[in-house]
Structure 1
Amino acid sequence: MPFDDPTPLDSASLAYENSDFLNSPDARILRIMAEYTEPMARFRRERIQDTVVFFGSARFDALDDAHQKMLLLENTGSVETSTEADAQHKAAVANVEMAHYYEDARQLAHLWTEFARKLPGKRHRYVVTSGGGPGIMEAANRGAYEAGGKTIGLNIKLPFEQRPNPYITPALNFEFHYFFMRKFWFAYLAKALVVFPGGFGTLDEMFELLTLAQTHKLAKKMTIVIYGSEYWKSVINLDALADKGAIAVKDKELFRFADTPEDAFRMLREGILAQDADCCPGETFTPIPDTPAPSAQEELGPDIAKTLR
């Protein structure tokens, strides 16, 4: 019995145009690699050589916004004796108190970007980078933007939307699906880190980079400044970790505390000079008295092992 003629088929879709496949578990490795190669291509195109990363809370407002929220609360006529009103007032007072960290991050990013823009060379050096969201992240991008520099935002796709702040350079606005790839890009180009007060996310990111530095998994020396000694010493007792033997006493030399934008700027500048004496012709700052580790490669390259050992 003869077979029926086969039905003509449409052309099959190319694998890299098949959205069902690309979003499937089978293509997870391709999505991971895309979050490595696509940012690298953009950093090369924008001539970004290295970065200074700012971490901190997404919840702190600019000082004028915090005052505005306080005034709005005071003018609503809430019953002050109610538990809810007391909680709202307490939160508003804390918001005003913590707003100075927003302003300090903004000022420090401005100071640093003014300095970095004057460095010689055709590449953009020590570009201010944040997690791309509001709060301290916005403050850092804002300060760099107001100083006329490029600024990077490494955002993360979350169930609750976190929109990029408006001060990120558009070509350097990133959004990641995988936390670990976002963390990789925080570490890959960073020559320095400034940690402002924050919560779980800030603690996670800070201790991850401290651990990489402690275990010599970074093929470069990283300057780490922890901003706001009063806040941090009330949140975590790093001295107790050393006293109990959980970390070595020398591990406390991995970071320094700063309490003003000017002090933080000086520490960053000294740290950068200690890493790369050729970066700042004419500068005569006293380097931080630590033994410099081998510096990272100056050009972006495809070999991850050269940056994270």
Structure 2
Amino acid sequence: MSPKLPINNSQTITEFLNLHKSQIAEEDSEDSYKFAFGDEAFLARRETMGIRFELELLKPDVLLKEHGIEHTISVFGSTRFISHTEALALKKKAKTPEEIAAANKSLLHSKCYESAREFGSLVAHYNATQENNFNKLHICTGGGPGIMEAANRGAFEAGDKTIGFNISLPREQQPNLYVSPGLSFRFHYFALRKMHFMLRARAIVAFPGGFGSIDELFEVLTLIQTKKVVPIPVILVGKDYWNEMIRFKQMVEFGVIDEEDMQTIHFSETAQEAWQVIQDWYQLG
């Protein structure tokens, strides 16, 4: 006869409350009598900010582990880029000079969208060759539209798990349709969101983007420069854009960064080139 020893003898709070629902009724009780962990108004107070920080750090970490996500590639880029198909439809409908100019710009930028989509697909096809979760690299984005949607979409269409770290904004950013069920997270604090972008990241791929993308990129570069993290490849897609936006060479010449700080930065023009950098860095074959 095999022993029937319990794994542990404690009950979760959910189990306890389900067992004793009839004796524990809080719905109509005053705020002070509510369980602290179930009192949303209390948890939203300034004094409990530290607890909210901890929860935003802990929840994604626990759920990602449950899904077997060990390694990610964080992809940054503009929310404003749309697919080639959408851009063509926009151009077809354009009537005024302003609409035609906007449609042409969208068509030009759609190349970035399609490149991010291809990159997601390349990563997903690599994962399909790996049986061990520890060898897989999953696409992780901010979960919104534009480049984020494109990278998630490429991986999703190839049948892979994809992750989205969304953020609460004045105009709520809705999760894109290509984040896997159970892997779409919503953050209130940018700092915790950026921390999660890095915790499992084995590479950063940045497409052209605005303030948010540049903020995320510089956070990564600062962490690498100050040796807070092990160096990882940082791939900037679109050399002309990035050299125009951030004059790295001039920063080195001016002495505000060292040549050594450039060692993890790689420029690429295509999804295949970006993926090749990661393959070479980790000898993925």
What corresponds to 1:3 in structure 2?
none
Give the conservation status (yes or no) of the 8 Å contact 2:71–2:134.
no
What corresponds to 1:66 in structure 2?
87
Task: Measure the CA separation in 1 of the matches of 2:262 and 2:161.
Answer: 32
Cα deviation per residue 1:249-275 (whole Å; 9 max; x = unaligned)?
2212121000011111111111222xx
Task: Give 3-state SS (helix, strand or coil) of 2:263's partner.
Answer: helix
What corresponds to 1:15 in structure 2?
36
What corresponds to 1:262 in structure 2?
272
CA apart distance, 1:91: 2.4
Consecutive unaligned residues of structure 2, counting only runs of 5 or more, are: 1-27
Task: Measure the CA separation in 2 of the matches of 1:163 and 1:259.
Answer: 29
Aligned ranges 1:1-309 → 2 under 5 Å: 12-74=33-95, 78=96, 80=97, 85=98, 88-123=99-134, 125-218=136-229, 220-273=230-283, 280=284, 283=285
Task: Measure the CA separation in 2 of the matches of 1:154 and 1:195.
Answer: 16
With structure 1 as the length reference, what TM-score do the two structures score? Answer: 0.80
Give the conservation status (yes or no) of the 8 Å contact 2:116–2:271.
yes
Task: Measure the CA separation in 2 of the matches of 1:120 and 1:19.
Answer: 42
Give the conservation status (yes or no) of the 8 Å contact 1:105–1:139.
yes
Give the conservation status (yes or no) of the 8 Å contact 1:66–1:99.
yes
CA apart distance, 1:117: 2.6
CA apart distance, 1:122: 4.2
Task: Measure the CA separation in 2 of the matches of 1:124 and 1:267.
Answer: 17
Task: Give 3-state SS (helix, strand or coil) of 1:246's partner.
Answer: coil
Give the conservation status (yes or no) of the 8 Å contact 2:70–2:133.
no
Give the conservation status (yes or no) of the 8 Å contact 1:49–1:189.
yes
Task: Give 3-state SS (helix, strand or coil) of 1:191's partner.
Answer: strand
Task: Measure the CA separation in 2 of the matches of 1:113 and 1:15.
Answer: 43
Give the conservation status (yes or no) of the 8 Å contact 2:231–2:264.
no
Task: Give 3-state SS (helix, strand or coil) of 1:171's partner.
Answer: coil
What corresponds to 1:300 in structure 2?
none
Q: Is the deviation greater in 233-242 or in 132-141?
A: 233-242
CA apart distance, 1:89: 3.1
How many residues are treated as equivalent by the alignment? 256
CA apart distance, 1:158: 0.4
Task: Give 3-state SS (helix, strand or coil) of 1:170's partner.
Answer: coil
Which residue type is aligned with residue 217 of structure 2? M
With structure 2 as the length reference, what TM-score do the two structures score? Answer: 0.86
Task: Measure the CA separation in 1 of the matches of 2:125 and 2:225.
Answer: 31
CA apart distance, 1:118: 1.4
Consecutive unaligned residues of structure 1, counting only runs of 5 or more, are: 1-8, 274-279, 284-309
RMSD: 1.6
